[in-house]
Each structure stands twice: as structure tokens, then as C-alpha cells.
Structure 1
Amino acid sequence: MAQRCDICGKEPMYGHAVSHSKHATNRRFMPNINKRKIVYDGKKQKMNVCANCLRTLNKTS
């Protein structure tokens, strides 16, 4: 499953995991993606949706 939100386009971000000794190693910050069947643009579709968009859709419907 692609780690990309079909509504807002949120994707993984890159940064550093910093230990107590301040040694930085590369890491990915992954979005919270869920595969859901939702009504979007008047059609029921199976989409990859981030938790933030899912929350917004629940508030508006």
C-alpha cells in the first residue's frame, strides 16, 4: 500500500532520530494511513486516507 493520502496528498517525511548522545541517524516519519470505503464526490470509493482527513470527513458528514 502506498503511504500517501488520496485526499490531501500527505506523504512520508524524512528527518533524524536523535539519541541521548546527540548522534543523528536518518529515519522516515510515516503518515497514519488507513484504507477505507468512503463516500467522496458522491461516489463510494475505496481510498487510502490519513487519520486527519478521516476525522475531518466524519465531522462534516
Structure 2
Amino acid sequence: MAKVCYSCGKGPSFGNARSHSLRATRRRWNPNLQKVRIREGGATKRVWVCASCLKGFKVQKAVRPVPAAEA
């Protein structure tokens, strides 16, 4: 599976790194992807989501059930 955002499809960008002498070498800019548990269709799954989608509430994070207190 490629490392792309599950919500918006954002993936790596490519370009040139420029040194002081302006020599160009190829490089890659990766998105800020976080592995999160989301709730979708009543099921919980772990997917890669970019930080901008998390901050914009574009995905619904799953909440773990709290175990009952032993008494």
C-alpha cells in the first residue's frame, strides 16, 4: 500500500534540492502522515491520514471503549 492520505489522497511531491552552487539533485517531499484509528460504517480500521485532514476534522477518529471499573 502506498503512503497516501486516506481522506484527501495527498502523496509525496518531487522536485530538486538546490545546493549553494545551484547543483540540482532529485528529492522527495513527504506529507505529514499519521496512522490513526477511524470509525467507518460501524467498523474500526487503521489508516494513514495527513495532519491537515486531522486538524480539519475531515475524518472521524475512533474512540476506544473504557473498561468498566472493577468493584
TM-score, normalization by structure 1: 0.79
Quote the sequence identity (%). 45
Deviation track 1:1-54 (CA, whole Å, cap 9, x = no partner) reads: 632000000011110000111001000110111100123566533221001001
Higher helix share: 1
4+ runs deviating over 4 angstroms: 40-43
Q: Which runs of 5+ in 1 are unaligned?
A: none
Q: Of Structure 1 and Structure 2, which has the larger fraction of its residues in strand?
A: 1
Supply the RMSD in Å over aligned alpha carbons: 2.4
**Take 2:57 and 2:41, find their aligned partners in 1: how far apart are those partners?**
12
The higher radius of gyration belongs to 2
**1:1-61 paired onto structure 2 within 5 Å:** 2-40=2-40, 43-57=43-57
